[in-house]
Amino acid sequence: MRLGIISALHEEQQGLVEAMERPYRLMHGMREYFVGQLWEIDAVCVLSRIGKVAAAMTATTLVEKFGVTHILFTGVAGGGAPSIRVGDIVVAESLVQHDMDARPLFPRFEVPLTGLTHFPTDRHLGMQLADAAERFLAQDFAAAIDPQERTVFALSGPRLHRGLVASADEFVSARERIQALGEAFPGLLAVEMEGAAVAQVCFELGIPFGVIRTISDNANENAATDFMRFVTSVASRYAFHVVRQFCLGINANPTP
């Protein structure tokens, strides 16, 4: 395995590059790629920047130039349903581009010439991610997140969810918008701006991939409040420890 790890923001990947063994840096396409080992797994870490095009370009480069065999996207997302709370973790089982609309040539939300609206993640990788997230919540959460930050963001008993994630070049920040998306996509868990683009790239290139998101807000009018504080003090710690648990899990149970 050579694992490509993508995040949209520097803060979302804080600590992972520092944890790399024998890292070296390469510049390509206005991005820094850090190549090394994370907990004995060959890895390449990179910031995609925000949005579907940026994410698609980064995922393609990871495969074509850096030879990654698996891709993992980590970062934050807005909650897609009232039951999803700030601090919860969502592991995507499928992803959809909710701004894709090529009607009348193709059905709404269908990516032209693929026949797909929903791109499934790799089942085995998703199970490994979910197991890693569960171990983080059970073993690392209390020590990893500062008590003051837990109080500020009302982080109490965060939970893991698995299911549908929707992506678009849109920061969702209105209740009416998230309600409309929930009606269009029953079972929607989270909204963000990159995952479905990575899903399409990995589908077309035949690369197993997973998307894991920490819920930073409820995708409503308060979505931008203390967003960067949450990313820096909470989501970055989630990503670090979940990736750590993921890599340790692979080492303990290598794929035949």
The answer to whether 121 touches 199, Cβ cutoff 8 Å, is yes
Q: Read out DSSP for 121-160?
A: PPHHHHHHHHHHHHHIIIIIHHHHS-HHHHHHTT--S--E
Q: Is 33 helix (H, G, I), strand (E, B) or coil?
A: strand
Helix axes 195-205, 52-64, angle to 10 degrees: 30
Q: Which residue has the tokens 């370009």?
A: 57
SS3 letters for 196-245? HHHHHHHHHHCCCEEEEEEEEECCCCCCCCCHHHHHHHHHHHHHHHHHHH
CA distance 43 to 165: 25
Q: Which residue has the tokens 């790890």?
A: 5
- The number of angstroms, rounded, from the C-alpha of 68 to the middle of its chain's C-alpha atoms is 17
Which residues are known catalytic residues?
Answer: 12, 217
CA distance 55 to 199: 10
Largest Cα separation within the chain, whole Å, is: 53
Where are the alpha helices (H) located in 162-207, listed in sequence order? Answer: 175-184, 195-205
